[in-house]
Amino acid sequence: MSYRDVKRGLPQRESKVIAVINQKGGVGKSTSVINLSACLGENKKKVLVIDFDPQGNSTSGYGIEKDELEHDVYDVILDGFPIEDAIIETCEPNVFIVPATIQLATAEIELVSLEKRESVLKEAVNRVKDEFDYVLIDCPPSLGLLTINALIAANSLIIPIQCEYYALEGVAKLLESMEMVKRHKNPNLEIFGVLMTMYDSRTTLSKQVVDEVRRYFGKTMFKTIVPRNVKLSEAPSHGLPVIKYARVSKGSLAYMKLAKEVVTRG
Ligand SMILES: Nc1ncnc2c1ncn2[C@@H]1O[C@H](COP(=O)(O)OP(=O)(O)O)[C@@H](O)[C@H]1O
Ligand SMILES: [Mg+2]
């Protein structure tokens, strides 16, 4: 069944377009996109994941074979291919994805010459967002044009922060980019939540980092804290979200709890 078949007859929904963003690599963006989307899907929310990182980790994390793809997000933003036809199903019945491949790596440069270089993603997302409860954008680890596109397409941001030394390093720069986009292009952009990831309860460092980030962000920080959990790092190599790979694991429980918190926050 294609996305076009599925969408017929759906009520129009007020959707949240959320960019999962942090220009630091390895902080848990893709892990959070995969597992939050899967848990929202289990909660009967209709979700569109947009993989916007050339590494394509949310695409492969959902077990999608990149070699077999006919179209990806590059075709949508640079070749004018209709996003409706680039959306494919995942193993979660309510979760769909616009996949990414390494093709996206050159987009950063190719976008420069386009007049709408900062808003191509927004235009694509606007065509389909009403069909979904949530659109989650997995951002690349940089503050380049792809990330600016995500900041302009989104209504709000989830910022994953890893519980380690220098956790807040770079966050000021990220907030600066957010403010710049707010001033010029997207005045209603807000932070949906700050998500602490890879928490290790055996170390005092993790606790200190959480306290420090809480002082900085206050209630914006999600109550749910994602523990360091080996099942979360193993699941992508099986092409499954953790709720399918290891349902009864600390990682799985954390993302289930996060999904509930996201739904409660609106
Ligand atoms: N809570 C966690 N516990 C254990 N490993 C994790 C956790 N979150 C992420 N990882 C692992 O850490 C690495 C970086 O995570 P990833 O989500 O790819 O970060 P990003 O998308 O920000 O670069 C991956 O190998 C991932 O499997
Ligand atoms: Mg990633």
Look up residue 252 and give its two tokens: 């799985």
Label residue 12 by pLDDT band (50, 70, 90).
Answer: low
Measured by CA distance, the residue closest to atom 26 of ligand 1 is 233
Assess whether pLDDT exceeds 70 at residue 107: yes
Give yes or no for residue 225 CB within 6 A of ligand 1.
no
With contact defined as beta carbons under 8 Å apart, do 256 and 226 qualify? no
Average pLDDT over residues 161-173: 92
Is the C-beta atom of 150 inside 6 A of ligand 1? Answer: no
Is this model's pTM higher than 0.85 or not? yes
d(CA 53, ligand 2 centre) in Å: 7
Calculate the alpha carbon distances from 229 to 40, 250, 252, 258 in Å.
20, 7, 9, 15
27-73 pLDDT, tens digit per residue, is 999 999 999 999 999 999 999 999 999 999 999 999 999 999 999 99
Check residue 115 and give its pLDDT: 92
Which one, of 34, 17, 45, 46, lies nearest residue 122 by Cα?
17
Token digits of residue 232: 């979360």
| pLDDT, tens digit, 9 for 90 and up, residues 109-144 | 999 999 999 999 999 999 999 999 999 999 999 999
35 lines ligand 1 (CB under 6 A): no
Ligand 1: which atom is nearest the Cα of residue 28?
A: 17
Nearest to 41 by CA among 91, 3, 6: 91
Topology adopted by domain 3-265: Rossmann fold (3.40.50)
Mean pLDDT of the chain: 95
Question: Which tens digits make up the pLDDT trace of 149-165?
Answer: 999 999 999 999 999 99
Confidence of residue 14 (pLDDT cuts 50, 70, 90): low
Res 159: pLDDT: 98
Q: State which ligand 1 atom lies nearest to the alpha carbon of 57.
A: 18
* Residue 31 in contact with ligand 1 by CB distance below 6 A: yes
The reply to whether ligand 1 has any atom less than 6 angstroms from the CB of 258 is no
> b/e map of 117-137 (b: 16 or more CB within 10 Å)?
bbbbbbbbbeebbebbbbbbb
User: Whose alpha carbon is nearest atom 8 of ligand 1?
Assistant: 28
> What pLDDT is attached to residue 4?
61
Taking the centre of ligand 1 as the mean of its atom positions, its distance from the CA of residue 169, in whole angstroms, is 18
How far, in Å, are 9, 33, 189 from residue 59 at the CA level? 27, 10, 26
Tens-digit pLDDT profile for residues 188-204: 999 999 999 999 999 99
Tokens of 74: 């590059």
Between the CA of 217 and the centroid of ligand 2 the distance, in Å, is 23
Alpha-carbon distance of 197 to 214, in angstroms, equals 13
206 lines ligand 1 (CB under 6 A): no
| Ligand 1 and 194: CB distance under 6 A | no
